[in-house]
Amino acid sequence: MKKYIMITRNSFMSSIIYRFHFFYTSLSNIFYIIIIYFLWKAIYRGSGGSINGMTFNQTFIYLALALSIFCLFKTYTDWEMSYEVVNGIIVMDLIKPIDIQLMKMFGAIGFVFYNFITVTLPALFIIIFIFQPGVITVRSIALSIIPMVLAFFISFNIDYVIGLTSFYTESIWGISIAKDTIVLLLSGAVIPINFFPDILRKIVGFLPFQAIYHIPLTILISKDMSIYDYLKFLGIQLSWAIVLYAVNRLYYSKAIKVVTVNGG
């Protein structure tokens, strides 16, 4: 266990060298929050206060927090793995007596800590102090901690699938961009899933992406979630976490046989 904690610490330490990253990413997020605020204000103008069962406040908080989660989970695992395959550095990981999936995950956790301090916390401050939403309670924050951990686990495993794909394709620029877009759109991070047309909402219910954003966010913004609904949400997340983890184990055992490293 100690070696994995060291990996987490190292990846945290190596990410804090990018000082400007913190500044511009925060600025970029402030812009995004301002734009979704006015955009959704415009969408809600002329409506009777609530659309698809969500008030403006709920929608805005949902989307602003989705941004915070997106920044939190952005650990570039897929990009890093592809880079390592292209440059051959991946052999250095493969020869170590360490499980590579766990190693990448603990590396990603270090990145998440960094993201939390530099990007998510400032974004949360802006949302809470400037826009003053009344929808988040201490209870909902407490309830959302476990779903957030599971959401990270699912998000990491989706990145890892793409990362393993680079064992076959080397360059994954296109696949990664496509993955980011699909995850953001179908998880409800850009538009709350309550706004989707019925058929689409059913389809999205069968996909793992909503477990990253929609589930923790819904728990965060609902005032009176029943214990039954809560457990159902946890069940969905847990099943996806197990399925994706198992798929990755299987995929790795196949991919490791084809990866070719030139030099290194």
Partner 1 sequence: MRTLLSYTKLYALIVSQYIKARMQYRADFFISSFGILLESGAGFFSLWVIFHSISELIGWSFNELIFIYAFALLAVSPSQLFFDNIWHLSHHVRQGTFIKYYFRPLNMMFYYLSEIFDIKGFTKLALGITAFIYASFKLGIDWTFPKFILLLALLFSSSLIMISLMIMAASTSFWTGEASSLLMFVFRFGEYSRYPITIFNSFFKLLFTYVIPIGFVAFYPSRFFLRPTETNILAYLSPVAGILLFFLAYLVWRKGVNSWTGTGS
Return the number of the residue (108 or 162) whose C-beta is nearest partner 1.
162
* Residue entry with tokens 């709920």: 58
Residues 224-228: contacts with CB under 8 Å, at least 24 apart: 225/140, 225/143
| AA identity, residue 174 | G
User: Does residue 190 interact with partner 1 by CB under 8 A?
Assistant: yes
Is there binding between residue 204 and partner 1 (CB under 8 A)?
Answer: no
Q: Does 206 bind partner 1 (CB under 8 A)?
A: no
Is 2 a binding residue for partner 1 by CB under 8 A? The answer is: no
19, 166, 186: which is closest to 80 by C-alpha?
A: 166
Residue 18 found at the interface with partner 1 (CB under 8 A):
yes
Tell me 126's DSSP state.
I
Does 10 bind partner 1 (CB under 8 A)? Our answer is no
DSSP 188-203: TSSS-GGGS-HHHHHH
- Closest approach, Cβ 67 to partner 1, in A, equals 12
Which one of 95-103, 143-151, 190-198, 252-260 is the stretch in contact with partner 1 (CB under 8 A)? 190-198
DSSP helix/strand/coil, 50: strand
Measured distance between the N- and C-terminal CA atoms of the chain, rounded to whole angstroms: 28
Q: Does 160 help bind partner 1 (rule: CB under 8 A)?
A: no
Counting residues that bind partner 1 (by CB under 8 A) gives 41
- Identify which of residues 87 and 239 has a Cβ nearer to partner 1 in the complex: 87
Interaction between residue 177 and partner 1 (CB under 8 A): yes
CA distances from 201 to 1, 196, 239 (A): 41, 6, 19
- When asked if residue 247 is in the footprint of partner 1 (CB under 8 A), the reply is no
54 φ/ψ angles, rounded to the nearest 5 degrees: -125, 135
Question: Residues 6 or more apart from 109 whose CB is under 8 A from it?
Answer: 8, 11
**Residue closer to partner 1, measured from CB, 51 or 259:** 51
At position 216, the amino acid (one-letter code) is P
Q: Residue 82 Cβ, how far from partner 1 at the closest point, in Å?
A: 11
Residue among 100, 112, 182, 191 nearest 148 (CA): 112
User: Which one, 181 or 239, has the nearer CB to partner 1?
Assistant: 181
- Residues near partner 1, by CB under 8 A: 18, 20-21, 23-25, 27-28, 31-32, 34-35, 38-39, 41-43, 45-47, 51-52, 169, 171, 173-178, 180-182, 184-185, 190-191, 195-197, 200
